[in-house]
Structure 1
């Protein structure tokens, strides 16, 4: 028997013993549709996990599909049943159809006709009740743990259609959830990603283009997802600080499947929140949220986040100073996505 427990396990035990643990809003969750699509089963699994982990509300969104494969593709219209059945537990983002258009259209091929088609679809998503556009991808590397066919996608963050989406998002007062694996400068593909042959051996810098997207329309609020644990370990604390200082319209959501010693990981290997990340949250208390990246299937979470990852989100909150806990747990998400307050 182990003679000690990780910091996160101890936090979870302490949390479970409390009468009223801090409720969470998960701003980044999916229904898994590969190799089968059973959205109702995913819905039931999501509710069961949310009840068990005291997640008061989840923001559901389609994966950032880059191609239309009918047997597993879905967008916001396919998720509306979950909100109708449980209006207080779910809210929706949409945009997998937009992501296909972004990745299927070269920047030089964006004509007025393409723009009109893109805008029409974006406004349909807004009309369908979207609280945001997502998950939209710029660079999305293929991760070996997700299987050899896990998507590799690469579009410049300042792609003309992404800039158009920024304008549409600002016009309608809703954010964009952006997946952008960060490449500050041209660099070799990290060794851990080389088993998946969809990835190129050399990654091209995308930080300048990301800065152009963030500066393009200051009314556009962008949630840069998956901070705290990423396959390209470049979003380190000092860079996060610089980006948040330079771009008041930038927000981030934590994904914390596990802890690692590398600086870009928010948790250490024992599940402790690193002091530098606590300092960042204290410096920017209104800019961080939780986003598990859980994929719900028939049997619960089937990929993306893990059981440990879900516990780690709770652990992060419980390790924050009391005055920051509710902000990161739910209040920032309620304000940013214009959600109804949580029921008492």
Structure 2
């Protein structure tokens, strides 16, 4: 395998990674000997909460298909104790229009449109396949570079899987209802139950790949309870053999700003988890506040109870977009909620549930 061209020092660091299991084994032996010569002290419950993570929502590039690179991402993951990550591109690219005074910095930076961009998958695949195997093993790459309103989408995904056999571990994040991103996207409005996506879901079931779908539960302007819920629910209901991950539990930062906390959302999430065993919930980005935590930063008991009731159905991610310096801070911000869960459930949410979704062993 080729070394990372952008960070040649990575090879020495990877050598250390390969030696880490030996060092850990030696340390465990020394600790065991020390423990046999001393009386064990009880460990406080809080001291056992040393969370390791699977970042279940991470974008390798931004809306201009650029990012910090794989070396910076590995550094951020190590610092944040992220053992594994769902990694995906961004399925759209922002257009820099000729009449714009300067290049926009975000997809909402001006009124220029965004367009479906298949190259994002190749950017990700080329970066990862050139990396050493120990690096590749830390990622589950998801396919996202397709137009979810194009009836050709499933065929394009199948072709991409043939180009990189055995590489892809899932599909998504699929953008459907997504605030201003939907408004700015050229072409037909995507929705979770679009006929094109029905073909994609069937392919995902055939290949055993989970699908992450971004589908806002309602409109930021209308605010009706569950305005778009049926679009997503019918996709889950009509494809029982497909494993779904609902990005951000149907919320968004814009919905939070416009509508505040949708008090009815908890009940809908609970109902859907009861009804559809193929549904999983992503708690990243816009779910922490105001849902998991109240305005004083305290865990909301109803959400703690909900996660405890379905301890293997929730995953956690940073949702960073091409820039990785904030991964640790974002994941650490979930600590108050994780600490309110039982230790096993907390570790499920922080790391193990996503590993199960992509059929990786949970140690």
Alignment of 1:94-133 (within 5 A): 94-96=143-145, 98=146, 100=147, 102-103=148-149, 105=150, 110=151, 114=152, 117-118=155-156, 120-121=158-159, 123-124=161-162, 127-133=165-171
Q: Assess, with a 3 A threshold, how the Cα gap between structure 1 residues 20 and 80 changes in structure 2: closer, same or farther.
A: same
| Aligned residue number for residue 280 of structure 1 | 306
Q: Deviations over 1:38-89 (max 9, x none)?
A: 5xx4212222221222111111011232625689775552342457461342
Cα RMSD for the two superposed structures: 3.6
Matched, 1:180 2:215: yes
| Aligned residue number for residue 280 of structure 2 | 251
Alignment of 1:7-156 (within 5 A): 18=47, 21-35=50-64, 37-38=66-67, 41-65=68-92, 67-68=115-116, 76-81=124-129, 82=131, 84=133, 86-96=135-145, 98=146, 100=147, 102-103=148-149, 105=150, 110=151, 114=152, 117-118=155-156, 120-121=158-159, 123-124=161-162, 127-142=165-180, 154-156=189-191
Q: Structure 1 residue 268: deviation in Å?
A: 1.7
Bigger share in strand: 1
| Aligned residue number for residue 351 of structure 2 | 330
Larger Rg: 2
Matched, 1:294 2:320: yes
Q: Deviations over 1:311-337 (max 9, x none)?
A: 223443233112312211222111111
Counterparts of 2:69 and 2:277 in 1: how far apart (Å)?
36
Structure 2 contact 192–213 (Cα < 8 Å) conserved: no
Structure 2's unaligned 5+ residue stretches are: 1-43, 93-113, 257-261
Q: Assess, with a 3 A threshold, how the Cα gap between structure 1 residues 18 and 78 changes in structure 2: closer, same or farther.
A: farther
> 3-state SS of the aligned residue for 2:321?
strand
Q: Assess, with a 3 A threshold, how the Cα gap between structure 1 residues 126 and 139 changes in structure 2: closer, same or farther.
A: farther
| Aligned residue number for residue 310 of structure 1 | 331
Counterparts of 2:120 and 2:178 in 1: how far apart (Å)?
19
> 3-state SS of the aligned residue for 1:48?
helix
Structure 2 contact 115–186 (Cα < 8 Å) conserved: no
**TM-score where L is the length of structure 2:** 0.68
Counterparts of 1:116 and 1:157 in 2: how far apart (Å)?
14
Structure 1's unaligned 5+ residue stretches are: 1-14, 191-201
Matched, 1:160 2:195: yes
| Aligned residue number for residue 360 of structure 2 | 339
Structure 1 contact 94–125 (Cα < 8 Å) conserved: no
Counterparts of 2:159 and 2:119 in 1: how far apart (Å)?
21
**TM-score where L is the length of structure 1:** 0.71
Structure 1 contact 254–291 (Cα < 8 Å) conserved: yes
Q: Which stretches of structure 1, 4 residues or more, deviate above 6 A after TM superposition?
A: 70-73, 148-153
